Amino acid sequence: MKIFFLDQSGKPGGAELCLLDVAMPYKNHGLVGLLADGPFRELLEQHQIPVQVLTNQAIQVQKASGLLQSLRSSGTLFTPLMKAVQLSRDYDLIYANTQKALVVGAIASLLTRLPLVYHLHDIVSPDHFSPTNQRIIITLANRFASRVIANSHASQKAFVDAGGDANKTTVIYNGFNPAAYQVASTQREHMRQELGIRDRFVIGHFSRLSPWKGQHILIEALAQCSANVIALFVGDALFGEEAYVKQLHHQVIQLGLQERVHFLGFRSTIPELMSACDLVAHTSTAPEPFGRVIVEAMLCGCPVVAAAAGGAVELVQPDRTGWLVPPGDSLKLADVITQIQANSERSHQIAQYAQIRATQQFNLATTNQQIAELLQVIVKH
């Protein structure tokens, strides 16, 4: 089976990391087409996955774009669309991994008569998309997709609630290679020493810096915790959200937390950094489609606290595999942090059980098998 994958981003976000894993089994008979150049292309090349950038012109449509902006930017899709049509003719199926990729993939599917699969990594709701973009997603998926793979029941429900065809959807959780998250205790100590955090209670936050990812909530909570508690923010602005980064730095200064908050930027050593933490915090203020960092923390054997909305609720069993707090509630988050800090033995037991459950429930081999079986059925039809 030959697959033509499409993705809109040149930067490796959660959807792109998922695509990397999905495309790996097809690297000898597949191709990834990108609508932007950047580190994600380099990452695919490092894994010997064939990749081609379809355009050098930025596509300005964003999740919040209205009808006028969408129409103005439609011309920038012409070049990548024509390239996608040309390239896809050599493949059996088009696999759209993001929203802009869905637009290109849907038209390419219409012109080539190839089946289209849409992998949904988002909550299709007003929290994340403008009304115009919601209608575009639903209309194209309903009309052109043979199947919509939702990465959680939460993303599936939002898709259906927005008007998506429930009969076209299949929930397949993101998969992970557990071995990639096994970090020796000596590496943990080395990382803590390197960062100068050996004697601190360390909370890690792993995400792009964005208002809805809620880094400001963790900073507010930190101000309510003991002085020995510090936070590491791993990630940076991706989609024109630099103003939020400035806001976070200003918030840290206002609260006098300069010595307790460290912005590390993008890092490639995620397992090592997670293992160096005493707790990983997920603080999204809007429902999370899946919550990749939650599972990654579990696989690293690190305790995790998450905002109780969207896919996160499916990943965390309260007081069994982690902790859940109401989204945006910094006081409750601070309370949970204090409890975990005070009871390290209990939190260690919960983290160990979570590691076992995550290894079983979110194994990449199982995920790729489920996707392969689904794609085989589509291609045969």
- Tell me if 281 sits within 8 A of 333, measured CB to CB: yes
- Tell me if 201 sits within 8 A of 341, measured CB to CB: yes
Q: Residues 6 or more apart from 8 whose CB is under 8 A from it?
A: 34, 35, 36, 59, 97, 98, 99, 100, 101
Residue 373 has a CB neighbour count (10 Å cut-off) of 9
User: Residue ranges of the chain with pLDDT lower than 50?
Assistant: 65-68, 70-71
Over residues 116-155, the pLDDT tens digits come to 999 999 999 998 899 999 999 999 999 999 999 999 999 9
Q: What is the share, in percent, of the chain residues with pLDDT greater than 90?
A: 85
Tell me the C-alpha distance between 287 and 308, whole Å. Answer: 8
Question: Exposure string (b/e) for 280-307, b if CB count within 10 Å is 16 or more?
Answer: bbbbbbbbbbbbbbbbbbbbbbbbbbbb
In terms of phi and psi (left: phi > 0; alpha: psi -120 to 50; beta: otherwise), the region of 152 is beta
- Look at residue 68 in the predicted model and tell me its pLDDT: 42
Please report the domains of the chain, with CATH numbers, ordered by start residue. 3-175+363-380 (3.40.50.2000), 178-361 (3.40.50.2000)
Both structure tokens of 183? 């970090």
- Look at residue 277 in the predicted model and tell me its pLDDT: 96
- Look at residue 64 in the predicted model and tell me its pLDDT: 56
Q: Residues 6 or more apart from 321 whose CB is under 8 A from it?
A: 298, 304, 315, 350, 353, 354, 357, 358
